[in-house]
């Protein structure tokens, strides 16, 4: 076993994710991932950062810099954004998808909501124009690996390949290197965090998971989001990986409700 591989195994960590509980590889919890971050009651502990307002629709065709500037720490997963003025974040994972991504974009446009799309590199390479459309509509794009593989236990070279290939595909499609990274299944390891630091990407997790990927029904998705969202929440939804019609229908319901409750949407 290589030195890098041993260290990765030693520092691999466990997080409850949307499909299963990942067992810790080495049994040592990362000290840089405070346990309190998993508790919604500790959202106020999110490190301070400069306020980054959501892009407005009239800025959709603004030429973005080649690199976005990270606004949060790079050495630990982000579960909440700053909660000033009831700010929340909406994240859309596993696309782009030619069927459901345009539908999600339509709903977001209707309610003038800006979201973060966590995109799989293979899908970006297959549908670069769709990724470009998301970017040009003013949304942020997050690196979600090349193949959507579980990174825990992977050797360092493969972790690097998963992140860099996806980043290159996103840059080729949009002209921007993503400033955010989301680990598939919420599975983080020391090797993943280090690669995020090298690529200047904030590790992005979530605090509200309605498990829309399991198609539990529109009502359950809506109920979960409305019950669990609080200032600073990062909401997880999906536009890829299967039939996402329930997600689209749920977004049509929860977005106006959240706006009516005084929330506004920002990107990390």
Q: How many angstroms separate the CA atoms of 168 and 128, rounded?
A: 12
Q: What is the DSSP letter of 86?
A: G
- Annotated catalytic residue within 8, 123, 238, 239: 238
- Do 94 and 144 meet the contact criterion of CB atoms below 8 Å apart? yes
238 is catalytic: yes
Within 13 Å and on the Cβ side, how many CA atoms surround 212?
A: 30
Between CA 163 and CA 69 the distance in angstroms is 18
Tell how far CA 192 is from the center of its chain: 15
Largest CA distance in the chain: 55
User: Is 135 assigned a catalytic role?
Assistant: no
Catalytic residue among 93, 209, 212, 239: 93
Of 150, 145, 152, 197, nearest to 12 (Cα)?
152
User: Which of 65, 69, 64, 67 is CA-nearest to residue 52?
Assistant: 69
Q: How many CA atoms lie within 13 A of 79 on its CB side?
A: 25
Distance, in Å, from the CA atom of 169 to the CA atom of 164, rounded to the nearest integer, reads: 9
Catalytic residue ranges: 93, 238
């Amino acid at each position: 076993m290589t030195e890098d591989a041993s260290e990765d195994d030693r520092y691999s960590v466990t997080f409850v994710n949307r499909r299963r509980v990942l067992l810790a590889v080495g049994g040592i919890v990362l000290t840089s991932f405070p346990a309190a971050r998993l508790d919604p009651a500790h959202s106020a502990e999110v490190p301070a950062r400069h306020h980054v307002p959501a892009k407005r629709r009239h800025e959709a065709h603004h030429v973005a810099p080649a690199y976005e500037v990270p606004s949060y720490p790079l050495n630990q997963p982000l579960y909440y954004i700053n909660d000033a003025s009831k700010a929340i974040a909406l994240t859309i994972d596993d696309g782009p998808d030619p069927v459901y991504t345009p539908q999600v974009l339509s709903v977001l446009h209707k309610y003038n909501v800006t979201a973060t799309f966590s995109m799989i590199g293979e899908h970006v390479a297959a549908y670069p124009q769709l990724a470009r459309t998301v970017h040009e509509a003013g949304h942020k794009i997050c690196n979600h690996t090349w193949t959507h593989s579980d990174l825990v236990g992977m050797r360092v070279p493969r972790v690097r390949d998963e992140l860099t290939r996806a980043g290159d595909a996103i840059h080729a499609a949009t002209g921007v290197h993503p400033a955010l990274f989301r680990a598939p299944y919420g599975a983080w390891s020391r090797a993943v965090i280090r690669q995020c630091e090298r690529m200047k990407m904030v590790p992005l997790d979530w605090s509200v998971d309605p498990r829309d990927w399991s198609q539990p029904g529109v009502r359950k998705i809506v109920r979960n989001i409305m019950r669990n969202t609080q200032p600073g929440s990062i909401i997880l939804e999906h536009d890829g990986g299967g039939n996402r019609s329930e997600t689209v229908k749920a977004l049509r319901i929860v977005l106006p409700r959240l706006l009516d409750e005084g929330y506004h949407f920002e990107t990390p």
